[in-house]
Structure 1
Amino acid sequence: MSEERTPLLVLGLGNVLLEDDGVGAAAVSLLLDRYDVPPEARVLDGGTLGLSLLPCLEGADAVILVDAVRADLAPGTFVRLDGDAVPPAVAGRLSPHQVGVADLLDGARWLGRYPRRLVLVGLVPASMDLAVGLSPAVRASLPELVERIAGEARALGVVFRPKTAGTEPAVGPHVDVARLARGQP
């Protein structure tokens, strides 16, 4: 059986119940509202599934992880890491789900599914308290984050085209990733 390759996977991460930790889900949702996803890309909201996302990496040449990233910067500031800088950043347990992301990357490497290109983009959170919705600072920076995701994809040779006026917004990126991980459509 031949392996189907997808040049790019955009994977939103985080917990929407922990305020700004939900920025990954919000970003992929807005990306789907504003852009048509080209056939050579997949956009998924991976939530906090961690190691369960391993099948989603299957066949991805490049992965853009989208997440809240703690840093000594103002809330809402854009952060970008790539290559070897990504695993240590997510291994530092900067948010409750990131230990799962570190396991995901380790598992992908061990199984030979590690992407050739790995980029982490995100925003510095103002709060990761138990609350639904983004803080004002992160919410204000969300459109810039989405533009940066499209720019990262373009740099990887995958063009997300803006939707034209009158195009229906995406129903949402909420693919049932748990079912996908079990090999179910």
Structure 2
Amino acid sequence: MIKDGTSVSATDKPEDEINSRRTLLKGGIAALFTGIFSRDVLAASTAKESAVTPSVVSIEIFSAAGKSEKIVNIPKVIKTDEQWSKQLSVQAFKVARRAGTERAFSGEYAKSHGDGLYRCICCANALFDSRTKFESGTGWPSFWQPISSLNVVKSSDRSFGMQRDEISCSLCDAHLGHVFDDGPKPTGLRYCMNSVALNFVPRG
């Protein structure tokens, strides 16, 4: 095609048309990234909201005498590490909030025979009754069952190259210890707990 004595190929486009296409392309890319950004912001916002909104859990409430009173649905106890560290001793924080383990025979309740309830050191949730405690010879307070299956949670623990069942408080997620299948009758289980994760309260 000849225009003003200059040969122009059929594929050449007027400059204004090229600029128009570039503008549309840039607009499309911007819209794409805006959509992705908005999606990510929404997802992050939703995740943040879920993180600060405690989930509701069912636990069984027990009197000071160890009598079951009722089952309630209440929000999970959630605190920052700073808040937990102010509330707990260094060792209790290491065990309950960092899944540590106290040294064998070093715990306050390893050989305790008092009559009462063992509650969570973090949230006071009832965990074990002294009537289910037994001498395991392991150096840690041991029980053949929790006071209620609602008040503890069992999960898989593969740390240190071992396969174990971790036990934690259902109300605040505090690490308590582990459960093993070498306990006495009637359950055949041994809930091997850390003393610093517990608070013994004499039976009222």
- For the criterion TM > 0.5, the same-fold answer is no
Greater percentage in helix: 1
State TM-score, norm by structure 2.
Answer: 0.24
State TM-score, norm by structure 1.
Answer: 0.26
Structure with the bigger RCO (C-alpha within 8 Å, sep 6+) is 1
